[in-house]
Structure 1
């Protein structure tokens, strides 16, 4: 990554060295790379003047390896002022931000691991 962001390396649960890139732009974006190939991301959008998780994805071959959780961990250590959609929000409530089944599993795992806490849930 260039001078306007940072790259952190970690080894995933399968022994692969993963680069996590966090640019300095607003709103936060985090990318995960393996051998130079983009394998995942977290992207946030502005909602009521806060950054709320808009999308999260890790390629299937890399899922369940701790990559998305590590992306959250690295981002939170740099900027604790990011939020995930409130777990009460859904397509049924008409809210534009809500968690998919996979997104809910990621957020719940990050909460169990202490990476995220309830304070990271977006307010109504």
Structure 2
């Protein structure tokens, strides 16, 4: 609120589906959604503008669509989500469909011989 009063909270700390363990970054997505990068759960939680939990993408791992300590995310070009991973030492571009569990890796930044450790995005 303009006077500084708390208006709304969501995503309490914990292990339930709609909880957040370590919010590293927030991004606004299609359909007035909020995408919360959760570094400790190796995933990104998706919430509606009313705070309602809509789902989660990612999960622990180094495969396409899996995340290892993600540091942030931003939407690029509509439904493509750029995700930077501190632990995975990479960037992925995921194509996401709201209301669907479907996700796939479209692009991976090759680390080559140099160490690449993204700390944040934007």
TM-score (norm 2): 0.39
Decide which structure has greater strand share.
2
Q: Which structure has the highest helix share of the two?
A: 1
